[in-house]
Amino acid sequence: MLIDNHGRIINYLRLAVTDRCNLRCFYCMPEEGLEWLSRKELMTYEEMLRICNLLIQMGIDKIRITGGEPFVRKDMMQFLTSLSKLSGLKQLTITTNGVLTAPLVPELKKIGIHSVNLSLDTLDRNRFFSITKRDELPNVLATLEALLKHDIEVKLNAVVMDGRNTQDIIPLIELTKDQPISIRFIEEMPFNGGDAHYTKLRWDYLQILETITQAYPSIQKITDEAYSTSYNYHIPGHQGSVGIIAAYTRTFCGSCNRIRITPQGMLKTCLYDNGVLNMKDLVRDGLSDEVIAKDLLFVMQQRAKDGWEAENKRKQNAPVHESMATIGG
User: Which positions touch ligand SAM (CB under 6 A)?
Assistant: 21, 27-28, 66-69, 95-97, 119, 157, 159, 186, 188-189, 191-192, 247, 324-325, 329
Q: How far is the CB of 16 from ligand SAM (least distance, A)?
A: 7
Helix (H, G, I), strand (E, B) or coil at 205: helix
Q: How far is the CB of 140 from ligand SAM (least distance, A)?
A: 9
Q: How far is the CB of 250 from ligand SAM (least distance, A)?
A: 12
Backbone angles phi, psi at 240, to 5 degrees: -95, -165
Which of 189/292 has CB closer to ligand SAM? 189
Which of 160/300 has CB closer to ligand SAM? 160
Q: How far is the CB of 117 from ligand SAM (least distance, A)?
A: 6
Q: Cα 19 to the chain's mean position, in Å?
A: 13
Alpha-helical segments (H) within 216-256: none
Q: What is the 3-state secondary structure (H, E, C) of 266-304?
A: EEECCCCCCCCEEHHHHHHCCCCHHHHHHHHHHHHCCCC
CA distances (Å), origin 59, targets 125, 135, 305: 43, 41, 20
Which of 12/27 has CB closer to ligand SAM? 27
Q: How far is the CB of 236 from ligand SAM (least distance, A)?
A: 28
Q: How far is the CB of 99 from ligand SAM (least distance, A)?
A: 9
Which of 157/229 has CB closer to ligand SAM? 157
d(CA 1, CA 314): 27
Which of 58/98 has CB closer to ligand SAM? 98
Backbone angles phi, psi at 43, to 5 degrees: -70, 145
Which of 4/136 has CB closer to ligand SAM? 136
Backbone angles phi, psi at 268, to 5 degrees: -120, 130
Q: Which residue is nearest to ligand SAM (CB)?
A: 329
Q: How far is the CB of 218 from ligand SAM (least distance, A)?
A: 28
Beta carbons within 8 Å of 25's beta carbon, 6+ residues apart = 119, 121, 131, 132, 159
| Cβ count near 239 (within 10 Å) | 13
Backbone angles phi, psi at 21, to 5 degrees: -145, 150
Helix (H, G, I), strand (E, B) or coil at 183: strand
Which of 68/240 has CB closer to ligand SAM? 68
